[in-house]
Every structure is written in structure tokens, then in C-alpha cells.
């Protein structure tokens, strides 16, 4: 219902603009055509009067009939008043006491090629204007509506999820922890769409951020039989994620100016996508070298359509997918001055590269 009202609110003024523009163009072109046509008609009458005068042709009814057939208008050798607005009358003096009068029906411009061409150009420009202005407006309104829904939903969901995570941690239930992390990730994505504020940057240990993301989603990965391997620089033995929080500059530790919460959310989105792409199990290899992070899985990879359209908002090939995960990642990466690249590995599987 809200979408229909939105379309009606936007389409009605646009259709009114097109209708008013069409009528205005018709009136303007018709006025210009009538003025030029009347001028040409008067010139035609003047030329014939001069010819009759120079040739000393007697102004008889018989000659008037001949001239009428040649010119395609009614011709009389007397002064005639216009009978109605549908006819146009031009009278020119041939000689004292003799007038040449031409009478014809007024023509309109409605079905002439020039009119149709002008209207076609106007309609094409109107369509282009609608595509350039109306479509982005509708998209913005849709996102605003979703943002309001997301904010309301997030506030309702966050507290129950926090309670679930607390009890799952106390009970040591990894399955519930993984599912709760998935719900929390979804809520955070909607919150990002609802409030896309600029990132609050400060020095962040990239390695620690990746390790924390893996730790948060490890229960989900274990449940799906997905092995996650993290390669940082040339170091193969990774420290515990909690010990990396205060990471000092080192060959295996890269410090970046970033919003840890949002960049961590982007990493978690990519990990969740990879896990969901391997429902029967597999492996995900995350490599971080300097400011380049790659996520390579052993799933089916991206389809040609996905490579062409992703990370477009609301596009997803997953059953029940909403198409916001990669879009959120792309927006977060762009907000950090980086870029996101999607590809398939030669041996199979998808690879997502983030360059900060």
C-alpha cells in the first residue's frame, strides 16, 4: 500500500507535467505555424494580384475558376468578409474597383510531421528526466522506509539476542552462539542501512579485527563443517584473538585507520556469505598482506550474473536472501577509501578482495 501511494505521489505530478508540456508545445507550434501560414497566404494573394495586373487579365468569374483550380483555394474578384473562424480570407487590390480575394480553410498542425517530431523529442526528454530524477527519488524513499523499519526492528531484537548470547555462553552451546551471531550480524546490517554515518576512524590492528570476526563466527562455521584458515603476512601460527587487541607494529600486524565496528561487520558479512555458500562443508582461506585482504572459499563461486550485478543493493541469488550483505560490505569499504573486487578462482570457488 505504501509503495502504491509513493508511486502515485510521484507519478501524478510527472504525468501532469507531461500533459501540460504536450498541450503547451501544441499551442506554441500551432500559433507559430498559423502565423507563418497566414503570411505565406497573403504573399500568395499579392503575387497573383500583381500577375493579373501585369498581364492585364480581365477579372471574370471564369478566370477565377481556373485560378481556384490551380491554387487549390476559393478565388473571387470581390471583397468578401470571413464567414467563420474556420476559414481564412485574404483580399488584395488588383486595380481601382477590383479586388482579388482568396478563401481557404484554416489548417492545423496536430498531425503534421514537425509536430509529431517535436512531441517525440519532448516525451523522450521527459522519460530521461524521470529516469534520472524520479527513479533515484523512489529508491531513496524506499531506503528511507526500510531504514525506519530497520531501526524499529533492531531495537526490538537487540535485547533478546544479547540475552540469548549470555545464556549460550554460560551453557557453552556453540550452535546457539553461532545462530545468535548470525542474528546480530543481520541486525547490524539493517542498522548500517538505517544510519549510514561516516566511519569513526582510529588506528586498528587489522589482524586482530580478522581474528575477532573469525572467533565470533567459528561456532557457525563448525556447525556447517567449514574450516576457516587465516594467513597473515608470513606468519602461520596466529596468536589468540584476545592477545592481539593491543598488537604492536610488526611484520604480521598491520595498523590501519578504520572504524573497527563497521570494518569488522564487513569482515563478518563476507565470512557468513562464504559459510552459507558451502552448505555441505568446505574451507575458507582469509589472507591479509599489508592492506589487501582476500576471502577465498571452496564453494560454487559467483555466477556470471552475480559478477555483473553484485554488489548491487537488494540483489541476491541465495534462496531467501535479501541482497544487502555484499552491498553493506561495499559501502563500508568505500567509506574507508578502499575498493571491493569479486572474482572466481581458476580451480573453483569465490574470491572477494578488499583493498584498503
pLDDT per residue over 80-105, tens digit each? 876 677 888 999 998 888 899 999 98
Region label for 56, one of left (φ > 0), alpha (ψ between -120 and 50) or beta (otherwise): left
Cα dihedral value 309, 311, 317, 319, nearest 10:
-150
Where is average pLDDT lowest: 43-57, 58-72, 145-159, 170-184?
145-159
Query: Could you give the CA distance from residue 251 to residue 310 in angstroms, rounded to a whole number?
Result: 34
Confidence of residue 202 (pLDDT cuts 50, 70, 90): confident
| Residue 316 or 177, more confident | 177
Instruction: For residues 209-230, give the mean pLDDT.
Output: 88
Element (H, E) at 120: helix 113-129
Confidence of residue 177 (pLDDT cuts 50, 70, 90): confident
Q: Identify which of 230, 205, 204, 231 has the alpha carbon closest to the alpha carbon of residue 218.
A: 230
Higher pLDDT, 193 or 64: 64
CA nearest to 201, candidates 244, 256, 266: 256
Length of the chain as a residue count? 356
pLDDT of residue 237: 35
- pLDDT score of 251: 46
Does the pLDDT at position 233 exceed 70?
no
Query: Rounded CA gap, 303 and 298, in Å?
Result: 14
Cα–Cα separations (whole angstroms), residue 271 to 113, 229, 314 = 61, 11, 19
CA distance 227 to 218: 9
Q: Using 50, 70 and 90 to split pLDDT, how confident is the model at 296?
A: very high
Answer whether 295's CB lies under 8 Å from 284's CB.
yes
The answer to whether the CB of 286 falls within 8 A of the CB of 345 is no
Q: Which has more pLDDT, 290 or 47?
A: 47
Of 79-93, 162-176, 279-293, the range with the highest mean pLDDT is 279-293
Question: Could you tell me which residue, 175 or 345, shows the higher pLDDT?
Answer: 345
Q: Residue 326: what pLDDT?
A: 81
Per-residue CA distances from 314 to 195, 274, 309 (Å): 17, 18, 10
**Distance of alpha carbon 62 from its chain centroid, rounded?**
70
The residue ranges of every structural domain in the chain are 2-110, 198-356
pLDDT above 70 (res 318): no
| Cα 298 from Cα 221, distance rounded (Å) | 14
Residue 166's pLDDT band (cuts 50, 70, 90): confident
Compute φ and ψ for 109, nearest 5 degrees. -105, 5
Which string of b and e fits 231-251 if b means at least 16 CB within 10 Å? ebeeeeebeebeebeebeeee
pTM: 0.50
Across 263-268, average pLDDT: 88
- The grid cell for 108 is 492545423
**Displacement of CA 342 from its chain's centroid (Å):** 21
Architecture of domain 198-356: 2-Layer Sandwich (3.30)
Instruction: Give CA angle at 310 (309, 315), nearest 5°.
Output: 80
Amino acid at each position: 500500500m505504501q509503495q502504491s501511494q509513493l508511486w502515485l505521489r510521484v507519478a501524478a505530478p510527472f504525468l501532469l507535467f507531461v500533459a501540460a508540456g504536450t498541450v503547451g508545445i501544441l499551442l506554441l507550434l500551432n500559433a507559430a505555424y498559423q502565423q507563418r501560414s497566414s503570411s505565406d497566404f497573403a504573399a500568395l494573394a499579392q503575387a497573383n494580384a500583381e500577375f493579373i495586373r501585369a498581364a492585364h487579365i480581365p477579372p471574370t468569374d471564369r478566370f477565377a475558376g481556373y485560378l481556384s483550380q490551380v491554387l487549390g483555394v476559393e478565388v473571387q474578384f470581390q471583397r468578401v468578409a470571413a464567414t467563420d473562424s474556420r476559414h481564412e480570407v485574404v483580399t488584395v487590390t488588383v486595380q481601382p474597383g477590383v479586388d482579388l480575394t482568396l478563401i481557404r480553410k484554416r489548417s492545423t498542425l496536430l498531425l503534421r510531421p514537425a509536430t509529431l517530431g517535436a512531441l517525440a523529442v519532448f516525451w523522450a526528454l521527459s522519460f530521461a528526466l524521470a529516469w534520472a530524477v524520479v527513479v533515484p527519488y523512489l529508491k531513496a524513499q524506499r531506503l528511507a522506509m526500510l531504514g525506519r523499519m530497520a531501526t524499529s526492528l533492531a531495537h526490538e531484537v537487540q535485547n533478546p539476542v544479547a540475552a540469548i548470547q549470555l545464556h549460550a555462553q554460560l551453557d557453552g552451546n556453540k550452535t546457539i552462539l553461532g545462530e545468535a551471531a548470525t542474528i546480530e550480524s543481520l541486525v547490524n546490517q539493517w542498522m548500517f542501512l538505517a544510519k549510514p554515518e561516516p566511519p569513526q576512524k582510529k588506528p586498528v590492528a587489522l589482524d586482530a579485527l580478522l581474528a575477532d570476526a573469525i572467533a565470533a563466527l567459528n561456532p557457525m562455521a563448525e556447525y556447517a563443517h567449514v574450516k576457516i584458515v587465516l594467513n597473515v603476512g608470513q606468519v602461520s601460527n596466529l596468536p589468540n584473538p584476545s592477545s592481539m587487541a593491543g598488537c604492536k607494529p610488526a611484520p604480521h600486524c598491520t595498523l590501519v585507520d578504520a572504524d573497527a565496528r563497521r570494518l569488522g561487520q564487513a569482515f563478518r558479512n563476507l565470512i557468513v556469505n562464504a559459510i552459507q555458500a558451502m552448505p555441505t562443508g568446505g574451507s575458507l582461506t582469509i589472507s591479509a598482506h599489508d592492506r589487501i585482504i582476500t576471502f577465498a572459499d571452496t564453494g560454487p563461486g559467483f555466477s556470471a550474473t552475480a559478477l555483473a550485478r553484485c554488489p548491487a543493493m537488494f540483489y541476491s541469488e541465495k534462496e531467501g536472501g535479501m541482497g544487502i550483505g555484499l552491498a553493506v560490505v561495499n559501502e563500508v569499504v568505500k567509506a574507508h577509501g578502499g575498493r571491493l573486487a569479486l572474482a572466481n578462482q581458476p580451480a573453483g570457488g569465490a574470491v572477494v578482495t578488499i583493498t584498503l
